[in-house]
Structure 1
Amino acid sequence: MSRAQPTTDAAAAAREEILQAAAELFTDLGYAMTSIDAIAERLGATKGRVYYYFKSKADIFFDIQRAAMGRLMAEVEPIARSDLGPADKLRGMAAAHLGMLLADLPIQKVSVQGLERYLFHSSGYRYVNELREINQLRDTYEQIFAEVIDQGAREGLFNDMPPAF
């Protein structure tokens, strides 16, 4: 997990800037070929600035995953919990998901890249807790869609999908 920093607007903006730069590089070069030096260079800063907010490249990668899932949840969950019918919810959720993917492309693109491929296989069990956390976030996000689809199936709106009892 990343180092705890003061929760000021400036610190949040600096962390976001680092996450964006890293996401762009992870997308362009891949995780293995992206270094803290490359992230700092992309920012026009020293690597000390990056290390002030993150203790490692892996911490940056995991925070990108958390940010991506948090942003998707913030957009999709209110629609899923609304009073709309299941079909309208599902349409709205899909549109919100797609909109977030397009608006937040580098962060979201990195989030769909294989966590295990980048970290687990190259580092053994070092990041197993972080991988579990990210997978739980993804499962929770998926469950929101599953609940709406299940509701629609029970109401007979999605005839080709049986309820998930």
Structure 2
Amino acid sequence: MTIKNLQDLYQDELKDLHSALGQSLAVTVELREVATSSELADALIAGQNGISRGLETLAIICAENGIDPGGKHCKGMEGIVAEARKHALDADFADGDVRDAAIITQYQHMAHYAIAGYGCVRSFANRLGRDDQGARLQQELDHTWEGDQRMTRLAEGKINAAAMEPAE
């Protein structure tokens, strides 16, 4: 597809973000399954729910724009997900607290990609006069940002401190 104008770019980025969220949802489930902190597991469940809500919002917006969100594979998120698996799931950890710190790190990498994606498509929607879509995308951006901040609070509150203690 040749991208000729902002509308084409908007549609392409909506599909890319939809693919990215789908990939991040799958690995977020895996991260939750190995988290040792119950607070972190709860935050990851909230993250799963937020990602699912974002996927629904994007599917609706895609339908409103006459496009199918499928058929595109986000290579950027593919790499981030591969890193999450390598550094938080497949790595050998002597301590669950250290793994939890790695989980937060990898989750935040994925969240930051989504934050950038939501910000771009929201700006495109607003420029194209699709203020209702822009408002919905802003809500998803806000929710994603809140989830990222929750992870930061967990890391800075207990998890990073616990990860400093040597494993026995």
Higher helix share: 2
Assess same fold via TM > 0.5: no
Structure of larger gyration radius:
1
Give the TM-score range, shorter chain: 0.3 to 0.5
TM-score (norm 2): 0.38
Which of the pair has the greater relative contact order for Cα pairs under 8 Å at 6+ separation?
A: 2
TM-score (norm 1): 0.39
